Chains A and B, each alone.
Chain A
Amino acid sequence: GNSVTQMEGPVTLSEEAFLTINCTYTATGYPSLFWYVQYPGEGLQLLLKATKADDKGSNKGFEATYRKETTSFHLEKGSVQVSDSAVYFCALRDNYGQNFVFGPGTRLSVLP
């Protein structure tokens, strides 16, 4: 079956540090890939997405590239801010069903 694996958290960084949160997936066909973010006390919201191989999703300084050869969709940001502290979820949606599969989430804490 389909699955999403994320790096274990929590991740603690200082402000302006470089961020990478690894995400790899297992799926049949050509899934669409997503990163969702959940800020403290808020609901999940879409951060970025990519729908085919080599696509790059980007938003709010975050980027992720759909790498089919490594089945990965790693999230990166060049300089994190305290306001980026949140839980980040990697997710996929496959070609054959319309259900989503989420990773377990990675908690990021950015210290001033």
Chain B
Amino acid sequence: GAGVSQSPSNKVTEKGKDVELRCDPISGHTALYWYRQSLGQGLEFLIYFQGNSAPDKSGLPSDRFSAERTGGSVSTLTIQRTQQEDSAVYLCASSLNIAWAGGNSTYNEQFFGPGTRLTVL
């Protein structure tokens, strides 16, 4: 089946412009995550959506960053007034809910998209 898709795959923009990055999660996955991966660095958590609950925005680095998830499916990450330090690969991931079986929880893994490489000139 189809995996997580992201668009565009590459985005070059000028400092000060706004950009929108899109993520299409795997159908049926209720959890959606955004991460940022700077060159040679690990994953930096940005925001997490779970069903109809309020998103966990604790990782957003500034108020220039925002994200929404419409209809519990597609998500858009918006960066306003981009800065050169925003240049990175932006990764989206989705997963199923926690599954409970026999009193034990089974945590489903995340499935990652290919990422959007953002370059701010």
A34 at the interface (CB under 8 A from B): yes
Judging by beta carbons under 8 Å apart, are A89 and B42 in contact? yes
Q: For B6, give the chain A residue with the smallest CB separation.
A: A43
With A98-B48, A99-B45, A104-B41 in contact, do A93 and B107 touch (Cβ < 8 Å)? Answer: yes
B109 at the interface (CB under 8 A from A): yes
B77 at the interface (CB under 8 A from A): no
Query: In which size bucket is the chain B interface?
Result: 20 to 34
Q: How far is the CA of A32 from the CA of B113 in the complex (A)?
A: 22
Judging by beta carbons under 8 Å apart, are B107 and A43 in contact? no
Chain A contact residue count (CB 8 A cutoff)? 23
Judging by beta carbons under 8 Å apart, are B56 and A97 in contact? yes
Binds A, one of B13-21, B64-72, B78-86, B98-106: B98-106
List B contacts of A51 (CB < 8 A). 104-107
A14 at the interface (CB under 8 A from B): no
Tell me the interface secondary structure of chain B in the complex: strand
Judging by beta carbons under 8 Å apart, are B42 and A100 in contact? no
Q: How far is the CA of A43 from the CA of B113 in the complex (A)?
A: 6
Q: For A47, give the chain B residue with the smallest CB separation.
A: B109
Q: How far is the CA of A52 from the CA of B35 in the complex (A)?
A: 26
With A43-B91, A89-B42 in contact, do A100 and B110 touch (Cβ < 8 Å)? Answer: yes
A-B contacts, 11 listed (Cβ < 8 Å): A34-B109, A43-B114, A43-B115, A46-B111, A49-B107, A89-B43, A95-B105, A98-B107, A101-B45, A104-B41, A105-B41
Enumerate chain A interface residues (CB-CB to B < 8 A).
32, 34, 36, 42-46, 49, 51-52, 89, 93, 95, 97-105
